[in-house]
């Protein structure tokens, strides 16, 4: 259960921080910072999402067993 909470917090953190960085950069008219923030957050989201999917597929029986399924 704590792994699920960790994943949810990880992805929530990424979206919240990206929104703040992009909003500040847009307000300041700094397009290069906007592009860099979006590129970095996209790379992190794809990486963490891929690792999460891979981990869940590899350990699905153990995760479901721990959950009582």
Q: 47: which 2 tokens? A: 């990486």
Q: Are 25 and 37 in contact (CB under 8 A)?
A: yes
Say if 3 falls within a structural domain.
no
The answer to whether residue 5 sits within a structural domain is no
CB 39 within 8 A of CB 22: no
- Say whether 39 sits in a helix, a strand or coil: helix
Percent with pLDDT over 70 in the chain: 96
20 lies in some domain: yes
Q: How many domains does the chain have?
A: 1
Q: Calculate mean pLDDT across residues 10-17.
A: 83
Give dist(CA 54, CA 35) in Å, integer. Answer: 28
Is the per-residue pLDDT at 52 higher than 80? yes
Residue 36 belongs to what domain range?
Answer: 10-66
Is 60 contained in some domain? yes
pTM: 0.71
- Altogether, the residues listed in the chain come to a count of 69
Question: Percentage of the chain surpassing pLDDT 90?
Answer: 42
């Amino acid at each position: 259960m704590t792994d699920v909470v960790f994943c949810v917090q990880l992805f929530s953190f990424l979206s919240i921080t990206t929104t703040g960085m992009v909003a500040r950069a847009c307000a300041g008219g700094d397009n290069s910072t906007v592009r860099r923030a979006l590129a970095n957050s996209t790379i992190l989201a794809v990486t963490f999402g891929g690792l999460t999917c891979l981990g869940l597929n590899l350990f699905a029986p153990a995760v479901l067993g721990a959950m009582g399924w």
